[in-house]
Amino acid sequence: MSSNSERKPEISFADFDRVDIRAGTIVEVEPFPEARKPAFKLKIDFGAGIGIKKSSAQITKYYTPETLIGRQVFAVVNFPPRQIGPFMSEVLTLGFPDDEGAVVLGAIERRVPDGGRLF
């Protein structure tokens, strides 16, 4: 099994360009007690072109629903939906593991339009 710190094989810019990473604002957060690991169900607004999408995120160590509402996050919006227990996750919310493996969300330094694409 590979470590998260191992480097992956090189990819071309065209490969990277196929991954659609967008900014969105969290508009709703619910507990996800059915998840195997502690998680929240998120609804994230990606603006008029993409709309509101659902995501499951294991971010309960550092975040509460109150601190997440209105926060902008990065997410991959062009993966196929993934069934997580009884919940269908439509986007992958991005973050980094801390020393203990808990997820820290990637931060957007200044407010950007929802749906803005990372490039």
The tens digit of pLDDT for each residue in 18-69 reads 999 999 999 999 999 999 999 999 999 999 999 999 999 999 999 999 999 9
Of 17, 44, 26, 33, residue with least CA distance to 87: 33
Q: How far apart are CA 20 and CA 5, in angstroms?
A: 23
> What is residue 1's predicted lDDT score, i.e. its pLDDT?
40
Domains along the sequence of the chain with CATH: 26-105 (2.40.50.140)
For the chain, percent of residues with pLDDT exceeding 90: 88
Q: Is the dihedral of CA 107, 68, 41, 36 positive or negative?
A: positive
CA atoms 63, 78, 21, 27: torsion sign:
negative
| C-alpha 103 chain-centroid distance | 10
